[in-house]
Amino acid sequence: MLKRAAVLVGILLAVTAGAKPVVVGGTLASVTEAPWAIALNNTQSAASSGRYCGAVLVEPDKLVTAAHCMDEDVSTYYAVQGRADLGDDSVGRVSAISKVWIHPGYNTKDNRYDFAVLTLSKPFTGVPVLPLETRARADRAGVVPTVYGWGDTQGTGPDETLQKAAVPDLGDKTCLANQSYVANGYAAVTNVCAGYLKGAIDACQGDSGGPLVLNGRLLGVVSWGEGCAQPGEPGVYAQIAPAAKALQAQLR
């Protein structure tokens, strides 16, 4: 299992199985269509742009991201909104992070409840926010959510540029049939299994914590996977609905 955060200088993040990168096989997305998509950067990132993880704006001063992204001192993180190309610092808004809350059910063994809520030092006022999906039944085979991120593309598009990809919900049975996924902690109650069994399209390193969106709501956030866009290895997303009450309590 590889969590899908980017790499800090000299540090390779938690690897137990394989690697998963930026949106592979996606298409360019605009910040106009996804204003709530946030780049969660880090001053120690190996990338000159600071790219590290993704996040989503759920209140003017609150972000939801993956808990596994928050393994460095809070002072090293900063949020970027409205910047499709992370290399272009002439556009977009930036805020430091003043507070971090990690879901109490999260642990690094199985990566369940992979959620963190971040408080912005400077709220992104006037920016549309993305509501949380509170219905567990929204995660069902056949629906087609969209994942957004600035992660690795494996040559299928420009890295560090906001991209999107439709990733069909395959249903929990698909990931539960993969013994490696079960061994790494996949659980129907807390995860969404989405992607293509043929591979080619997937989230990847640098996309962790980024939004999985269905019908204008945050269905999940990028969590982990084995390989990147590999056949038979769909993406694993932390599902919002089972954690919605705990998350909402942090948004007040």
Q: Is 46 exposed, middle or buried (0-12, 13-18, 19+ CB in 10 A)?
A: middle
Contact call for residues 66 and 208 (beta carbons, < 8 A): yes
| Residue with token string 């938690």 | 14
Catalytic residue among 114, 152, 169, 207: 114
CB-CB contact of 188 with 172 (8 Å): yes
Is 75 in the active site? no
Query: E strand or H helix at 183, and its extent?
Result: helix 179-183
Decide if 120 contacts 63 (C-beta within 8 A): yes
Annotated catalytic residue within 45, 49, 95, 208: 208
Q: Which string of b and e fits 189-216 if b means at least 16 CB within 10 Å?
A: ebbbbbbbeebebbbbbbbbbbbbbbee
172 labelled catalytic: no
Helix (H, G, I), strand (E, B) or coil at 167: coil
Q: Residue 67 corresponds to which tokens in the numbers above?
A: 């808990």
Active-site annotation holder among 49, 61, 68, 159:
68
The answer to whether 82 and 75 are in contact (CB under 8 A) is no
Token duo for residue 112 = 């369940």
Residue among 92, 87, 90, 94 nearest 47 (CA): 87
For the question of residue 85 being annotated catalytic, the response is no
Task: Give the integer Cα–Cα distance in Å for 120 and 99.
Answer: 7
List active site positions.
Answer: 68, 114, 208
